[in-house]
Amino acid sequence: MKIAFFSYKSYDKEWFNKFNEEYGFEFRYFKVKLTEETVVYAKGCDAVCAFVNDDLGRPIIENLAQLGVKMIAMRCAGFNNVDLDATKQHGIKVFRVPAYSPHAVAEHAVALILTLNRKTHKAYNRVREGNFSLERLTGFNLYGKTIGVIGTGKIGAIFCNLMLGFGCKVLAYDLYPNEELKKQGIKYTDLTELLSSSDIVSLNTPLLPETAHMINKYTLNLMKDGAMLINTSRGGLIDTMDAIDALKSGKLGSLGIDVYEQEEGLFFHNLSEKVITDDKISRLLSFPNVLITSHQAFFTREALDEISKVTLQNILDFQKGKDNKNIVLG
């Protein structure tokens, strides 16, 4: 099979080429994002391998169908950028990698918490400049704090256990409570109690119509004064302007995000010599109590191994007509 890779980075090429030795597929790599202008690059390919920021709306799907593409292999868990009605109409199968790095993402959430709290990023820069002062580096003990976890799927469950290891009290909110977590002493509650009782709130839920902007002016006002908010899930869970207002007023004590609702065109790119025209993220970057990483929570060697292996197996199963649990049904 011939597969067109869009939006590829050096690490994609390195990892996929390594594992492709077992499969023998023909890869065509394109650094450009999949768009109406670049979809023609998929001509002659049986499948496309896409990422979260590629455009897989109806016009793109129609063009892919005309080019003879029969499969879309998402090398990520998310597929909200895919028009599933269009793929179903044109007989294009969509596969994904559902859970390639739950530990990596959960651990990154902890890293954001510890960095914001103990200000290690600021201390690092100070010491390199010969400033060994401790002024304005005060943090708090994580032990004994109440952590609110919204979403207890694989990542959320691992994060809950990590927080228990720190000696925290953990509250959880999920439409489908995890009975094993309950046995470990985690209390499921409603969203209002969780927000009003938690010192730190972590978002671990998928982006769905009912969860879009679930953190907004109203829910931010329910939170404790000075609470910390962490998001390693999907940027669209937070209304950015409402978060900025809460930071300005001091209602929100600190914010750590690995995702951003307008990250397309920003994240995964080096813009160090360009003017960033997104006023919202520029405002966020101006706050001393905001920490932003660019969708790197998943980025471990183990995760890249899993992404490559599962994606290639998805393609092989499609080629052989085998059942595969990673197919996305529209």
Catalytic residue ranges: 234, 263, 295
Q: Do residues 213 and 236 lie in contact, with contact meaning Cβ atoms separated by under 8 Å?
A: yes
Phi, psi dihedral angles at 278 (to 5 degrees): -80, 105
- Residue the block writes with tokens 């950028």: 81
Q: Give the largest CA-CA distance in the chain.
A: 64
Helix/strand/coil (H, E, C) string of the chain?
A: CEEEECCCCHHHHHHHHHHHCCCCCEEEECCCCCCCCCHHHHCCCCEEEECCCCCECHHHHHHHHHCCCCEEEECCCCCCCECHHHHHHCCCEEECCCCCCHHHHHHHHHHHHHHHHHCHHHHHHHHHCCCCCCCCCCCCCCCCCEEEEECCCHHHHHHHHHHHHCCCEEEEECCCCCHHHHHCCCEECCHHHHHHHCCEEEECCCCCCCCCCCECHHHHHHCCCCEEEEECCCHHHECHHHHHHHHHHCCEEEEEECCCCCCCCCCCCCCCCCCCCCHHHHHHHCCCCEEECCCCCCCCHHHHHHHHHHHHHHHHHHHHCCCCCCEECC
- Residue the block writes with tokens 């290891």: 165
Amino acid at 174: D
